[in-house]
Structure 1
Amino acid sequence: MSIKEKYVNPFTDFGFKKLFGTELNKDLLIDFLNQVVLPNRHKIAELSYAKNEQIGSTEIDRKAIFDLYCVGTNGERFIVEMQKAKQNYFKDRSIFYSSFPIQEQAKRGDWDFKLSEIYTVGILDFVFTEDRNEKEVRHEVHLKDQNCRVFYDKLTFIYLEMPHFTKTEEELETTYDKWLYVLKHLPYLDNRPKALQEKIFTRLFEAAEVAKFTPDERDSYEASLKYYRDLKNVIDTAIAEGKTEGRMIGLIEGKIEGKIEGKIEGKIEGKIEGRIEGKIEGKMEIARNAIAENIPLDIIIRLTGLTEEELEKIKNE
């Protein structure tokens, strides 16, 4: 596969960790957290990367693997996740992930249960269903009581719905705006925009230049980019089919309404059956392609609506 883009795609696993998950580029992560996650709070001057794989307290407990997990100088914990595709229980997963940095703070012997702050950050390449008609990009969530007062201020969930960020280069005003702009547009840029001349963005564009990757890094990025593009293609196809299906159903319902004569009903029924068969075959074809590209089964199930048993049959064909 030939990489035509000048800069790495941060929504790929390799690209995200290349920019934010290495000691060499730690200053990028610190600035991102200060500007986007902690704009109205204290600023962190230093942080350390922690093990991103967390194991439960017993063998039967599930494990969690975070994209990035780091600890600030005052003990603050940051979990940062780049989520490429919509997941039914992504919010549940966020809550589950936050339980690990809570538990790891437990101390043996006498302990007063004082905890450090925990931030779970989701950078989303999609929008939550309930937000599809909203325009807000950044959602900050706290534990509140029945009077909407913050009950506990050390547990914060921040979700960035990137499709809602629509500012152009000319409209960028704050460093927060610039971070969101560069995350969304980086792989489509040929050169650093004039609006992103700060030193931190000079560092970012240097780190993101694909031509400077080692051969091993380039191979890893190609594999990561292929997975991202395949997944995006499956999702885009499912969305397009969903829209087509909606128009088809509306057309069929409109034709059926008010028609009682048996011959007319028979013709409509035949058209419905034919379109349903075509729709099912289309889903089967998407599933075959997704399986061939090793897309996880749970994602294929959500995109196609097929059952696990149906997917197993396709795999065994």
Structure 2
Amino acid sequence: MTTQEKYINPFTDFGFKKLFGSEPNKDLLVSFLNEVLKLGITELTYKKTEHLGASDLDRKVIFDLYCENEQGEKFIVELQKARQSFFKDRSIFYATFPIQEQAEKGDWNYELKAVYTVAILDFCFDDHYKNDLKVEVQLKDKAQNRVFYEKLTFLYLQMPNFQKSESELETLEDKWLYLLKNLHKLQNRPVRLQERVFTQAFETAELAKLDATERTAYEDSLKYYRDVKNSLDTAKEEGREEGREEGIEIGKELGREEGIEIGKELGEEVAKIKGIQKALLRGKLTIEEIAEDFDTPIEFVLKIKNNPDL
């Protein structure tokens, strides 16, 4: 951690839960959710974050934050630091737990309370959503292009796509997104963020106010965050460079315009393999973490690990 930092990094596990996950700071979470979901929540209750499936064979899931409002509507709030395989599938799977827990014994009419999943992403999807800041998903009727079921909502915030400067901040939502993205870089509270809720946010996030135990926990969390980001970024860049060079050589050998294109495609595959090899050699990430960020099956990573000459 550099000496210049004055506030916590909210993309660390500790920072995120310090800001949004404690009873004294419930107002911060209420304000944030009201802005990004356009709701009118007045009260939230924190619920247990660990959930077990119906049988021993089902997976155990642990939410970052899980809350319920005064109407009994459920809110899952997740922070995701790195891209992972089947992330959309995972968010759908997670949403089934607050749905199932609403079941009542005896004569029940199946009426459900709404379930909202908010995922704050420190990366972007690699599909046609990659340039969007907010991706909001509900069940729709394709023929009529109308919302079929309003009680299940998934909101993905792709934070790298938030590019507004302080002078461009207009809404309270803008200000929350700006704070999340830039908090750890700031030395003073921005002039545009003068609302009372941000007074509380900056006081909560000030590193100087952490006790010794909290400081140690934060530094451990920050080190893990940086290790993950640096290892993946370096492995990807080195893999891209080696893959690009090999792809060009393959294209030259084929000696045709189509060959150059084939070479580029092969080069991209080589880049992925090289990047995975670099990440494995550094030894800072688990097989699962590498597979998640390179968007590839765990079996593929294991194959590379067991065949270093690939």
Q: Give the distance between the partners of 1:128 and 1:300, measured in 2 at CA.
A: 16
Q: Which residue matches 1:27?
A: 27
Q: Give the distance between the partners of 2:306 and 2:243, measured in 1 at CA.
A: 28
Q: Give the distance between the partners of 1:71 and 1:219, measured in 2 at CA.
A: 31
Q: Indicate conservation of the 8 Å contact 2:6/2:207, yes or no.
A: yes
Superposed counterparts of 1:275-290, under 5 Å = 283-289=276-282
Taking structure 2 as the reference length, the TM-score comes to 0.87
Superposed counterparts of 1:63-102, under 5 Å = 63-102=60-99
Q: Which digits, 9 at most, give the CA deviation of each residue in 1:126-160, with x for residues without a partner?
A: 111114662x2011100012222211100000000
Q: Indicate conservation of the 8 Å contact 1:35/1:175, yes or no.
A: yes
Q: Which residue matches 1:18?
A: 18
Q: Indicate conservation of the 8 Å contact 1:8/1:186, yes or no.
A: yes
Q: Give the distance between the partners of 1:240 and 1:141, measured in 2 at CA.
A: 32
Following superposition, the deviation at residue 4 of structure 1 comes to 3.9
1:149 is aligned to 2:133: no
Following superposition, the deviation at residue 29 of structure 1 comes to 0.2
Q: Indicate conservation of the 8 Å contact 2:240/2:275, yes or no.
A: no
Q: Give the distance between the partners of 1:279 and 1:308, measured in 2 at CA.
A: 14
Q: Indicate conservation of the 8 Å contact 2:85/2:291, yes or no.
A: no
1:50 is aligned to 2:47: yes
Following superposition, the deviation at residue 238 of structure 1 comes to 2.7
Q: Which residue matches 2:170?
A: 173
Structure 2 vs 1, CA of residues 302 and 244 (structure 1 numbering), >3 Å: closer, same or farther? farther
Structure whose CA Rg is larger: 1
Superposed counterparts of 1:1-317, under 5 Å = 4-37=4-37, 39=38, 41=39, 43-131=40-128, 134=131, 136-147=132-143, 148-258=145-255, 283-289=276-282, 291=283, 293=284, 295-302=285-292, 307-308=301-302, 311=305
Q: Give the distance between the partners of 1:86 and 1:97, measured in 2 at CA.
A: 17
Q: Give the distance between the partners of 1:90 and 1:155, measured in 2 at CA.
A: 17
CA RMSD of aligned residues (A): 2.4
Q: Indicate conservation of the 8 Å contact 2:242/2:274, yes or no.
A: no
Q: Number of residue pairs matched?
A: 291
Q: Give the distance between the partners of 2:128 and 2:105, measured in 1 at CA.
A: 43
Q: Indicate conservation of the 8 Å contact 2:122/2:158, yes or no.
A: yes
Q: Indicate conservation of the 8 Å contact 1:301/1:308, yes or no.
A: no
Which residues of structure 2 form unaligned runs of 5+? 257-269
Q: Indicate conservation of the 8 Å contact 2:5/2:185, yes or no.
A: yes
Identity %, equivalent residues? 54
